[in-house]
Every structure is written in structure tokens, then in C-alpha cells.
Chain A
Amino acid sequence: MNRILSTAGVEFRIALRNRWVAIAVLLMVVFALVLAAAGAAPTGDIGADRLSVIVASLTSLAVYLVPLIALLMSFDAIAGEVERGTLPLLLTYPVSRAQVLAGKLLAHLAILTLAVCAGYGAAAGAAFWMDPASVAGLPALLRLVASSVLLGATFLGAGYALSALARRPSGAAGLAVGLWLGAVVLYDLVLLALIVSDGGGALTTQGLPFALLANPADAFRLFNLAAAEASAAAGGMGGAAAAIPLWQSALSIALWPLLALMLAVAAFRKVTP
């Protein structure tokens, strides 16, 4: 355990000095505040408290930003050690590869949690200030924080796996960008195209829920929108969120980090220094 904590401490210090902590926190705070200001308009129409509406907006923000920040922090984790030439020495120490990854994960997850809390906290603060009834949206906010951290862990694990597979930082960065585009942007577009061409057939009714649950980013959206019951404010995803039971999306976002980390450890074990 000491080895994991020491690794985490060192990684956190490195991230602090490389300004990653500042960049992640700033990014989340700025975008969350913009959303808090912009998302204030529709409250009157739907009768939800202001915070619940903001949570729905933050969900759409987090689904892009959290994976991006996670991948940016993790793509260098192993490829960087290979390039600097620090990996061979590290691997002669009495520390397992899983422990090394666990230490890095702990540090990166702490930074991500910090950024998420700062961003959502700022948006929530703005909501409370404008509408004291926002307290009703607090459980939804806490669920959003917890699921954002899990989503971040998934993409951190995926980033480590890509980093181990690529072995060069430049290659790992390319793979990370590809994964982000694929999982967060293109996946939904492809699903949309399929639904349109399927015209409400079996693919839409049976395949779609599974396809949504299989993608951690979509499962994250489903979970937060279904749980917050503010689906009306989120538009398109609302219908799907209502059709898929909450436990299924919760299971998906809880299992994905484990799967991603197992992949990362397996990929790291294949690296010969």
C-alpha cells in the first residue's frame, strides 16, 4: 500500500508541476460557469429547480470534458516512462506493474475529482445564489459527481492501456484522440444513422438500449438523466433514459472502470523494457 501511495504522491507532484492540475480545474470551472449562466433560461417552463436543470446541462458537458481530461492525463503514463528511459529501472524495484498503475490512477483520479468538484461546485454555487429552492437538486448533483469520477476512471484506464500499447507518447496521443472521438462523438452519430435507416425496427427497440449501455459515455448520460428526472431539459436522450432501467446504466458505469483497468494492466504486462 505504501508503494501505491508513494507512486501516487510522486505522480500528483508531477501533474502539479506540469500544470495539469491547474488546467483540469480551470477547464471544468469555466465551462461549468458558462453552462450555469446559459442554462438558467428554461427553468420557468418545466417547473424543475434550477440546480436540476444545471445538472442536466453539466451531464452533457461532462460527457465530453471528463473523458478528454482523463485521456490527456493518462496517455503519457507508460509511453512517457518508456521514452524517458525510466521504465527499466522502475521495473527492477519490488513493485508490481498493477501497483504502479494503481498509484498513477490514484493521483490522476484525485486530480479529476478535484476538477469535477470545483467545476460542479461553482455551478451549484451559482444556482443556490439565484434560486434557494435548488437544494432539491442536490442528490442529482452528488450522483453526477460520483458517476463523473467513475467515467473518468474508465477513460484513465483506457488511456493507460493505449499508452502501453503504443509505447511512444506521440502514438499514444493519437490513439487517445481517436478513442475520444470514437466513443464520445462518432458512436452516437453512428447510432443515430442506424436508427434513421432502421425506421423503428428491431434494431432500434432491442439493439439500441444495449448499444447505449455498452458505451460508458452513453451509460453515464442515461444514468444521470434518468436519475435526475429532468430529462425534459436534456432533449433527445430523455426518451432512451426512460426506457432503460436505472440499475442497468448504473451497472454499466460501475463495471467499465474495472474492465478498463484490467485491460490497462494486461497491456502493461506485455511491455518489455
Chain B
Amino acid sequence: MTSTLTISHLTKRFAGVEALRDVSLTVEAGQRVALLGHNGAGKSTMMKIILGLIPFDEGAVTVCGAAPGSAAARAQVAYLPENAAFHPALTGEEQIRHYLSLRGERPAQALDLLARVGLEGAAKRRIGTYSKGMRQRVGLAQALIGRPRLLVLDEPTSGLDPVSRRDFYALLDDLAAGGTAILLSSHALTEVEARTDRILILSGGRLMAEGSLADLRRKAALPVAISVAPAQGQKAALSAALPMARANGDGRLHLDIAQGDKLAILARITGLPQVEDLEVIPPSLEDIYSHFSRRDGQ
């Protein structure tokens, strides 16, 4: 079976500046993929190319077996823009009915769709009176139309409260279970960690890292921090036994060790009689993200 989305050696320049450089990736049916990167990393540019909204300079992009932006691709791809906007004079129901008609679906499904995103009570009100979170949900409702094969979501959870976020990811899980490939962008690794199958980190237009969270953790090979509490009155003796540790004001000793040495060093520390307790602190998600997204200068 072919991938829902295939990008190979994609390069895009804006007035001579490379916004994307030699990016290659695939997204399979039913996969949830997070695209991470800070502002200007090229996330939105890549999404617009996938949607066929802007042309690209080099490489090849195939969306559902067709060219991006072609009628065949547009019929199978749904999009939720960052800060989804709609005409303020229309009601939520009218807007969704219109989008249903544009996709060749029955407009009568509009209320069901709005109910799925929790907007059934506001369906008859004009969108001009909606809050940002409600507009975002109208955007999500239109993205659910007709079970798309590829769903492209640009910062989908900005403006949603934590409860709405959970409902939102539950909707995505349903879609992915039905075979929809999902590509979503985000600023924060902490938010997408448990809800996506694969993570792509984009920085300065280049794909810096790709894989599951465990893969990224391994590839980053960031040092593990160990904090050791000495037994009563044994601090000096412990310091002598662990010369690479530094002492902080909290009376504990701290070590930063490489992943590969972790087990050996732990075995050594636990064997020392002067140790009362110890804590192992793995690198945080933010550390991993920073590690991959800050290499652009090199």
C-alpha cells in the first residue's frame, strides 16, 4: 500500500532564502504525525505546499497518489488553518452547510458535525459572536467532513482549553483508527508526546530529527542527571568516592552522565555504603526538542 503523503527532497525558496531545504518524509494511512519547530522553522510553508496553496522549487510531493492542490488531492485532504477564520455574518450551521456542499456532501449533516465538536448550542448564532476557541472548533468541524484521507492541522490546539484539547485528541484518535493520516504542527513537545505516533522536528527549513519519542530520546543521547543524597555525616566521604560529582547548596551531589554509562555508574553508586538515596532524572521533552532544534547554526 502506498503512503498517504510522500515528500522527497523538497526545497522551497522565498526571494532566494531557503524556507525548506531537502526535506523528505512519508506519512502512512492511520498515522498521527507531529511537526514541531519554532516560528519560522518552515512548518506552515510545508503545510501550504502539501495543500497545494503555494508552489515549490525542487523535489516531489505526492498527496493521496495525486499532485498537491489537484482536484483529486483536494477531494481527500482536509485542513485546519492556524486561527481558523470565517465570515462573521454567517451562523456556525450555515458555514458548515456551505462547506458540506463544497465537498459534495449532504448539508443536513451540519448539526451532527457541530455536535461532535460541542457546538450544537451555538449552531444558530453568528460566528461573529463566537470566542476564539469556538471558532477553532468550527474549523475542526469542517475538517471532519467526509472522512478525509489526510488531515493537515496547523497549531490545532492553540486557543483550546485543556478539556477541549483532550476531546480534540480523542476525535483525532477516532479518525486515525479509521485510516486517516494526520499531520499536525505544534510548538510544544509536551503537548503531542502521548497523542502522536511519530514526531518530526523542523528547524531553519531542515528536517533535524524524525521518529517516535523513544527514538528521539535515544538519538539525542542527552546526559542523564543523577542526584545522590549522602547518608548522615558521610558527605565528605561520598565526595571523595565520586570525584566527578558536583556539590550544590542542597547538600546533595549531582552527576551528569552519558546514556551508555548510566547502568554502570548506577551500579557503582548503589554499591557505595555512604549513599542514603538517589534520583535519576531523564532529559525532559523540552531538552530533547531544544537539542534538535538548536543545531541549525552548525
Interface residues of A (CB under 8 A from B): 2-3, 5-7, 9-10, 13-14, 17-18, 84-86, 88-89, 91-96, 272-273
Cα A19 to Cα B233 in complex, Å, equals 84
A-contact bits for B73-90, CB 8 A (1 contact / 0 none): 011011101011111011
**B101 CB → nearest A CB, Å:** 4
For residue A75, give the distance in angstroms from its CB to the closest CB of chain B: 16
Contact assessment for A92 and B101 in the assembled complex, using a CB-CB cutoff below 8 Å: no
From B54, B94, B97, B102, give the contact of A95 (CB < 8 A).
B102
Q: Are A272 and B54 in contact (CB under 8 A)?
A: yes
Cβ-defined partner of A92 (8 Å) among B77, B89, B98:
B77
9 A-B pairs with least C-beta separation: A6-B101, A85-B85, A92-B79, A17-B89, A94-B74, A94-B75, A93-B102, A10-B98, A92-B51
The reply to whether the CB of B273 lies closer than 8 angstroms to some CB of chain A is no
Does B71 sit within 8 A of A, measured CB to CB? yes
Residues of A within 8 A of B81 (CB): 85, 88-89
B53 touches A14 (CB 8 A): no
Bound-complex Cα distance A3 to B103 (A): 8
Give the shortest distance, in Å, between B289 (CB) and chain A (any CB): 27
Bound CA–CA A177/B290 (angstroms): 53
Question: In the complex, what residues of B have CB within 8 A of residue A6's CB?
Answer: 97-98, 101-102, 107
| A7 CA / B51 CA spacing, docked (Å) | 21
Contact B53 A272 (CB under 8 A): yes
Smallest Cβ-Cβ distance to A9: which chain B residue:
B98
Tell me the smallest distance from the CB of A114 to a CB of chain B, in Å: 19
Contact across chains for A84 and B77 when beta carbons are under 8 A apart: no
**B83 adjacent to A18 (CB under 8 Å):** no
Cβ of B51: which chain A residues have Cβ within 8 Å of it? 88, 92
Q: How far is the CB of B176 from chain A (nearest CB, A)?
A: 20
Which residues of B sit under 8 angstroms from A95, Cβ to Cβ? 102
Whether B48 is near chain A, meaning CB under 8 Å from some CB there, is yes
Provide the residues of chain B in CB contact with A3, threshold 8 Å: 101-102, 104
Task: Determine whether the beta carbon of B86 is less than 8 Å from that of A88.
Answer: no
Assess A273 versus B98: contact at CB under 8 Å? Given A84-B85, A93-B74.
Answer: no
Complex interface: chain B residues within 8 A of A93 (CB): 74, 99, 102-103
**Which B residues are CB-close (under 8 A) to A89?**
79, 81, 84-85, 139, 142
Instruction: Kindly state the separation between the CA atoms of A5 and B98 in the bound complex, as whole angstroms.
Output: 10
> What is the CB-to-nearest-CB distance from B72 to chain A, in angstroms, rounded to a whole number?
9
**B52 contacts the other chain (Cβ, under 8 Å)?**
yes
